[in-house]
Structures are given as C-alpha cells and as structure tokens.
Amino acid sequence: MSEAYPADALPLPLEVGQVDAAWLTRALRQRLPGVTVRESEVVDVILGTSTKIRVRLSVAGEGAEEVGETLIVKGGFEEHSPKMAAMYANETRFYADIQPFIPMPSPRAYFAGTDPASHQSIVIMEDLKRPGVDFCDALRPHGFDQIARRMETMAAYHAATWSSAHFQPGGRWSDIASRFDGWGLDYMRRYLVPDVWAHYMGSPRGAAVSTRLHDRDWMERALMTIGDIQREQPRCLIHGDTHLGNLYILEDGTPGYFDAQVAQTAWHHEVSYHIVCAADLADRRVWERDLLLIYLDALARHGGPALDREAAWLDYRRSILWGLFIFLTNEVRFQTEAVNTAYAARFGQAALDHDLRRLLP
C-alpha cells in the first residue's frame, strides 16, 4: 500500500458485490476527506486482464463536485487475477506515485492502492465514456497526425524523467524495473518454454508471421541482446504498453493513456512498440522515419537530449523485437485472437522490412 493511502480502505474488495457505498466512501476519502457516498449501483462490469466496474453513485459533502455521476473501479476480480498481482500493483503504482509528477495525459484517479493481504490492487478513476471521447481500437490503425501527436506527448514524459535522480538507490522510482528484470523477465521465460512457444506458432497469429521469425532459440537470444542494449543506455519512465487498446483521444484531439505498466528503460522500447502497433502495414513503411524524427525533435525541445539520429534509427529498428514477441505469445484472456493476429502481422512485417534477424543475430 502506498504511503499516500492509509489502511482505512483495507481490505480491498475481492468481489464485485463488495464495491458498495461504504467501501467507496472509505476509498474516496483518501483524497477527498469530506465526501460521503450516499448511494452506489454497479451498472456495468467489463472483463479483461483486469476488471473495470462502472459505478453510478450519489456523493455528498466537501469535494463532492469533483466526483462525476459515474466512476470506474478497476482491479483484479477474476479467476486469473491472483496470477496478475504484480501487474495490478504496477498500474496502481502509476496512479499513486507517478501520474502526479509526469506530463502524461491520463484519467484522473481518486484512489489507488494495493492490499498486502491479497492479490488485489484497485484504482478508482474518472469515467471517460462520454460523447466526443474516442477509445482507440487495434483493428482501426491510425493516421500520421494521430501518431505524430502521440510522439509529442511521449517525448514530453520521457524528457521529464530522463536519467532521473529518482532512479538512484533510495529514490522515489528506484524500485521500478525494466522489462528485462524481475517479473518482466519471468513473464518472458514463461512463453519461451518449447511446447508453449510451439503452441503459439501454430495459432492464427503464428500463421500471420513469416516462419523465418518462428525460431524460438533466436527469439530468446535476441530478447536477451536487446535487454543488454537497453541496460547500457540512459533510462526514462515509459507507459509500458502503448498499443491502441490502451489509448484514447479527448474531444480536443489530445491523446490519452490508460492501463499503464510503467517501466524504467530506454526510450526506443516504447516508441518502436507504439508506431508499429498504431500504423497500417503499408503506412508504417512510409511514415516511421518521419515519426521518429518528430519524436527526437520533441524530446530535445522538452528538455531531453539531442540524440544521434542514425543511432536512434538503429535502436528503433532493433526494438521491434519486443512487440513481435509480445503479440506472438499474448494470451487470448488478455486480447482476442483477432487483436493478437493483427498486431503480430504488423510486427512480423516490420521485422522482415528491417531484416531483424540480421540486426539481432
């Protein structure tokens, strides 16, 4: 549990029916101590990697005007949730200890906490479901201008945390790992087991990717190589999972981010992942270098370093590997096979276009 959130809201609910007015009052009072939830009603339950519960409520007291008519309560309420405890805690950490300090457009959070006595972590956030807000979709690739705006916002929050003193031992973010340490490394190894890997290569997303990229031994070597490369480079905080399903666009066109899985790693891990996820197969080939230059210019403008462009282009291309691995092995309980196949096809084509097996032998 973050120090910012006392234990008054514990234990956290483990069942949807426990998200009631009494618990919501205790949780909301962590940031709005004068509010009382008079009535609450669960009006929608959206299942997925984590569960999103839409709650309609009536709130009174000082600060009540800051709370909308509906809120989203997000946490682990499903059978697979105990296995996802580290991922849930990581997202909660974003809202409790990162969002207030970086310029990443994201939903307002009213509560974010982890229960040390269970797998549960919960975020209570604003409900963005309203006219004019566009929730992005993996099956609807984006145009150049939409991706370019995201390059600008990414550059801003990367620059704000570039080689931050908070990464040093004892710092605010010193315990945030890269994708190639801790539970991230454990996650990779789970899917590199030979029979597990073979299962995914035989699935529709495997058929959408060239058999030249099915070599498990190469994938494992290449992942370790890109991890070593990133460890030697300056680090920043990344959102960690900027595929289209975790993004939205506000009424004024501002790109927004949710479902953060923050990591402390090199910039190109995120930029490469997002561009390949977001662009149509044919468009990505034409746009990606220009999009990278937009990012590099914005990074310097926001106070980050002026990176060498050719070195950045090499890093961008090598980091295509991460998204290829993720969507070749992503479970259908996290994303549908249609979504996994669409993304795997985009990364598979990018890997061929850039001869990834030569870049990461």
Quote the pLDDT of residue 295.
98
Which residues, including other chains, have CB under 8 Å from residue 220's CB and lie 6 or more apart? 192
Evaluate the omega torsion of the peptide bond into residue 11 and state whether it is cis, within 30 degrees of 0: yes
What's the CATH fold of domain 7-126?
Answer: Phosphorylase Kinase; domain 1 (3.30.200)
Rg (CA), the chain: 21
d(C-alpha 321, C-alpha 210), whole Å: 14
pLDDT band, residue 302 (cuts 50/70/90) = very high
Quote the pLDDT of residue 6.
47
Residues of the chain with CATH 3.90.1200.10: 134-359
* Region of poorest pLDDT, from 45-49, 164-168, 245-249: 45-49
Q: Does residue 210 have a pLDDT over 80?
A: yes
Q: Does residue 1 have a pLDDT over 70?
A: no
Instruction: Name the residue type at position 177.
Output: A
**Residue of 181 and 141 predicted with greater confidence:** 141
Q: Does residue 359 have a pLDDT over 90?
A: yes
How many Cα atoms sit within 13 Å of 258 on the Cβ side? 21
Quote the pLDDT of residue 200.
97
The mean pLDDT value for 292-318 works out to: 98
Quote the pLDDT of residue 50.
86
Average model confidence (pLDDT) across the chain = 94
Quote the pLDDT of residue 137.
96
Number of neighbours of residue 281 by Cβ within 10 angstroms? 15
Instruction: Name the residue type at position 39.
Output: E
pLDDT band, residue 234 (cuts 50/70/90) = very high
Whether residue 60 contacts residue 35, with contact meaning beta carbons closer than 8 Å, is answered with: yes
The mean pLDDT value for 251-260 works out to: 94
Residues of the chain with CATH 3.30.200.20: 7-126
Q: Does residue 5 have a pLDDT over 80?
A: no
Q: Does residue 136 have a pLDDT over 60?
A: yes
Write the pLDDT tens digit of every residue in 160-205: 999 999 999 999 999 998 988 877 888 899 999 999 999 999 999 9
The mean pLDDT value for 83-88 works out to: 83
Q: What is the pTM of this model?
A: 0.90
Quote the pLDDT of residue 2.
40
Write the pLDDT tens digit of every residue in 48-69: 778 999 999 999 999 999 998 9
First and final C-alpha spacing in the chain: 43
Q: Does residue 45 have a pLDDT over 60?
A: yes
Q: Does residue 7 have a pLDDT over 70?
A: no
Whether residue 327 contacts residue 344, with contact meaning beta carbons closer than 8 Å, is answered with: yes
Q: Check if CATH label 3.90.1200.10 holds for domain 134-359.
A: yes
pLDDT band, residue 86 (cuts 50/70/90) = confident
Exposed, middle or buried by CB within 10 Å (0-12, 13-18, 19+), for 128? Answer: middle
